[in-house]
Amino acid sequence: MSKVVGAAEFKAKCLNLIDQMRSDDESIVITKRGKPVAVLSPARNTGERRSIIGAMKGSVLRYDDPLSPAVEPEDWDALR
C-alpha cells in the first residue's frame, strides 16, 4: 500500500513525510493535479556493502572471441 500526497503538500512537509516513510516502511506516490508523477520509496539495505565481484554475472549475452578486433582494420578512419 502506498500513501498518496499532492506535490504542494509534499513540498511543504517533505522532511516529515520522509521520516514517516522510514518508520512506516511505506512508499509515497507524489501527484500533480491528481496524476502520479513520482514514487518515493524507502531505501533497502543501505548499511550493507556488496562486493563488486560477480555483480555482472549472467549479463553477458554473447561471447565469441574476446581477442579478435571489434571491427575490421579497413573500417578504421584512423588508418586512412
Whole-number pLDDT of residue 80: 58
Whole-number pLDDT of residue 62: 74
Q: Give the strands of the sheet with 28-32, arranged side by side.
A: 3-6, 28-32, 35-40
Whole-number pLDDT of residue 45: 67
Report mean pLDDT in 10-residue bins for the chain, 80 residues. 90 93 90 94 74 80 76 72
Whole-number pLDDT of residue 57: 82
CA distances, 78 to each of 25, 48, 67, 71, 72 (Å): 56, 47, 20, 13, 12
Whole-number pLDDT of residue 53: 84
Is 0.85 topped by the overall pTM? Answer: no
Q: Is residue 73 within 8 Å of 79, Cβ to Cβ?
A: yes
Whole-number pLDDT of residue 75: 78
Domains of the chain by range and CATH?
1-43 (3.40.1620.10)
Per-residue cell: 45:
539495505
